[in-house]
Amino acid sequence: MNLVKKLQMMFKRTGTDKTIYACAIFLACFGIVMIGDASVGMSASKGYNFATINLLKQCVFVGGGFFSMFFFARAYKTRRISETVMLVSYFACILMMLACLMWTINNSHAWIKVGPITIQPVEFMKLVLIIFLSYIFGVLPDQIRISNRLSQEKRKKLAYRKFVLCVLFPVFLIVFAFIICWKVQKDMGSGLILMIMAACIFFATPSQYYRPYKILGLFGVLLIVLAFILFHDRFLKSHQMARIASWLNPLEDIYGSNYQIINGFVGYTNGGLIGRGFGNSIMKFGYIPEAQNDFISAIIVEELGLVGFAAFFIPYSIIIYRLFRYAFCMKESRDKLTLIGIASYFFVHLMVNVGGVSGLIPMTGVPLLLISAGGTSTLMALTCIGVAQALIAKYNREKKQVAIEKSL
């Protein structure tokens, strides 16, 4: 009974956004149902209980994610996250990402395999990097102040120290994590997501110190994009080039390298307005291998049509919108940037996954958070919601306190 009361207290905590909770819980439960449904197609080749096992595994992951979400919503405090904790967490994630070299799954070294369980360390890195960069871009520039009363030599030393800590150090953190993803793990998609999230946090920082660096950053992004367009054959490996070729010419090799992509298109086109009916997908029966993973949106649209697409897209959009809305209302830079980082985390995953499956962008193997099968991504997505709720509750309580003081 005490446990039930504690769980009720967690959910009823003053200041949290109940709409975000409702959307996250709905998406996670919807994901469980669709993972079980999409896994049925592989039962013939992987055993009659394959769908049941997948469904039960996802139930366990979601249960752990719910516990983590409510725990962090109650326990997360910005002041408790010291520089040492962030630095140790970052390098712990790096070590786990390097440890993935001992396993090869789907031609990449992105997972740690422990018996029947696989762990994807880059998912932990996403949240760690959000919290770390929010601290650097939101707090550090104001902590290192250069007074005019100091001698010129001391001002130069402080200016150099500030540049190293506030500019070079975060660049190192981002680039190092990206290189590990790209070169070591062979997972360029996750590396690009880290870069995009970091860019969102950087360009959103209100600190005046970064104004000139934002201009340089824009030019840097343009140069990188231009260099990639002109010399992409030098940066990308053969399988990555094949993905771009498949995106540009999806009808070229429909029974070979483009087989999964074409069948994803078929799944989308078969759905229509209300779909073929729940459980009536054709594409999940071997046409889309491992349909419960990255291509699960094609099965949802095929069975439930545009209504099914709206069933996950609208809750996603509500979560992203409300996170951004709270972020823009907050005055404390660190909390603001953390919420922007979490909102961009959900936004980028949604756009990259749906865009890849529908053919708008090249496929990168990024999961649809809370809906695709995957323990680490589900756990960390719900943990991110918990961290966001802690910051939202703090903001709402402070706002309420100010309103009470004004009324007195």
Reported as a pLDDT band with limits 50, 70 and 90, residue 238 is low
Residues in contact with 80: Cβ distance below 8 Å, sequence separation at least 6, in sequence order: none
Q: Lowest mean pLDDT of 64-78, 260-274, 383-397, name the range.
A: 260-274
Residue 6 has pLDDT above 60, yes or no: no
Residue 393 has pLDDT above 90, yes or no: yes
Report how far apart, in Å, the C-alpha atoms of 312 and of each of 3, 38, 53, 303, 308 are. 31, 16, 23, 14, 7
Using alpha carbons only, what angle is made at residue 371 by residues 370 and 372, rounded to the nearest 5 degrees?
105
Note the pLDDT of residue 121.
Answer: 93
pTM here is 0.91
Residue 94 has pLDDT above 90, yes or no: yes
Convert the pLDDT of each residue in 318-346 to its tens digit. Answer: 999 999 999 999 989 999 999 999 999 99
Note the pLDDT of residue 4.
Answer: 62
Residue 310 and residue 271 in contact, taking contact as beta carbons nearer than 8 Å: no
Residue 176 and residue 94 in contact, taking contact as beta carbons nearer than 8 Å: yes
For residues 158-176, average pLDDT: 92
Q: pLDDT higher for 97 or 406?
A: 97
Residue 106 and residue 97 in contact, taking contact as beta carbons nearer than 8 Å: no
Question: What are the residues facing 114 on neighbouring strands?
Answer: 117
Residue pointed to by tokens 């491992």:
290
Convert the pLDDT of each residue in 287-301 to its tens digit. Answer: 888 888 888 999 999
Convert the pLDDT of each residue in 243-257 to its tens digit. Answer: 777 777 777 777 777
Note the pLDDT of residue 316.
Answer: 95
